[in-house]
Amino acid sequence: MLSKDMSTVLNKQVQAEFQASYVYLAMSAYCDSLYLPGFAAWMRRQSEEERGHAMRLFDFILARGGEVTLLAVDKPEPKFGSPLDMFKTVLKHEQGVTKQIHDAYTQALKQKDHATEVELQWFVTEQVEEEKTVGDILARLKMVGKDTATLLMLDNELGEE
């Protein structure tokens, strides 16, 4: 049985995952407005992945006898600057999600809730991958600078992944 405190923590994580999905979806629309369909497709895939993360936690809460409480998500900004600026925002956002997952994991440890520890370990590992992927794209965008031809090549590459 999931404790009330752990249920609250996990519901906040569900909210964070849905918020991330919403931000990525807004970024997808923004990339589309910049005529960067590859970036838009990459952001849309990230949005779907984050929604999947939220649903994984949603199902876990239910499986453990907890109560799902869907919390509101904030309206994302409609514009994100240059692709470089946008990926700086993405990295900062992912780092915030990582911190929240680490806090939830710490709470599970304190409560000796081993099932939740195991579930959250998957998210800890996933966040390492998320931050690395975003960091790699950010590094490449820094190398691109203002070279639009190379930016379009990167856009094409991200659209194919």
Q: What is the pLDDT of residue 156?
A: 97
Nearest-10 crossing angle of helices 37-63, 114-144: 170
Q: How confident is the model at residue 161 (pLDDT cuts 50, 70, 90)?
A: confident
pTM to 2 decimals? 0.95
Architecture of domain 4-160: Up-down Bundle (1.20)
Among 118, 115, 102, 125, which residue's Cα sits nearest to residue 9? 102
**pLDDT tens-digit readout, 42-56:** 999 999 999 999 999
Kindly provide the b/e burial profile for residues 81-114, where b requires at least 16 CB atoms within 10 angstroms of the residue's own CB: eebbebbbbbbebbeebbebbeebbebbeeeebe
**Across 59-63, average pLDDT:** 98
The answer to whether the beta carbons of residues 61 and 115 sit under 8 Å apart is no
**pLDDT tens-digit readout, 96-129:** 999 999 999 999 999 999 999 999 999 999 999 9
Residue 126, judged by CB atoms within 10 A of its CB (0-12, 13-18, 19+), counts as: middle
